[in-house]
Amino acid sequence: MPRPDTDLPQNGDVTIAEPTSSQSSAGTAREAADRLAGQVREQMLSLKGQAGEKLMSYAGDGKDRATNLLDDISAVIEDAARSIEQRLGAEYGGYAHRAAEAVAGFSGKVRDKSVDDLLDDGREIVRKSPGVAIAAAAVVGFALVRVLRSASGDSRPANDEA
């Protein structure tokens, strides 16, 4: 077995060869690729931030519209409660008044929370009751399809695709 130091020059001087032109162009190409990858990363992070800001803006607008809609629903229920009270009596009208107050209270709670808080609440509900969350998603999806179909004037049943 040869000794490992036999490949070294006898006088102890070691020379390092200059890189060939193909090695230096490979190094330059590698540096250019690294710079390009860094620029792509920066652009992706910038786009991600912009998309997040836009989504939060849309979510805030949606929250405002939803709370306004809940306020309108509360007002309609309150009007109906007065009508019920006149026709059927204070006891039945009281139920409707409490329902209107509940909707208005829910609207106020939603209005007072930030979008992040609402998302956190939604995640917590899904963690605690995944079955209820799936059922609610199915009901909302069904209702959304019905609303979209009625808006488009399509009265065909969902399974009648022909």
Condensed to tens digits (0 to 9), the pLDDT of residues 105-150 reads: 999 998 999 988 988 988 998 899 889 888 888 988 888 888 888 8
Indicate the average pLDDT of the chain.
80
Using alpha carbons only, give the angle 123, 69, 58 rounded to the nearest 5 degrees.
55
Q: Are 81 and 99 in contact (CB under 8 A)?
A: yes
Q: Are 108 and 116 in contact (CB under 8 A)?
A: no
**Cα–Cα distance between 134 and 111 in angstroms, integer?**
25
* pTM above threshold 0.75: no
Arithmetic mean of pLDDT, 25-42 = 84
User: Using one digit for the tens of pLDDT, what is the confidence trace for 60-86?
Assistant: 888 888 899 889 999 999 999 899 889
The Cβ-side half-sphere exposure at 139, using a 13 Å CA radius, reads: 6
Q: Round to whole Å and give the CA distance between 121 and 109.
A: 12
Judge whether residue 156 has pLDDT over 70.
no
Taking the C-alpha atoms of residue 154 and residue 148, their distance in angstroms, rounded to an integer, is 9
* Stretch among 15-19, 58-62, 101-105, 112-116 having the lowest mean pLDDT: 15-19
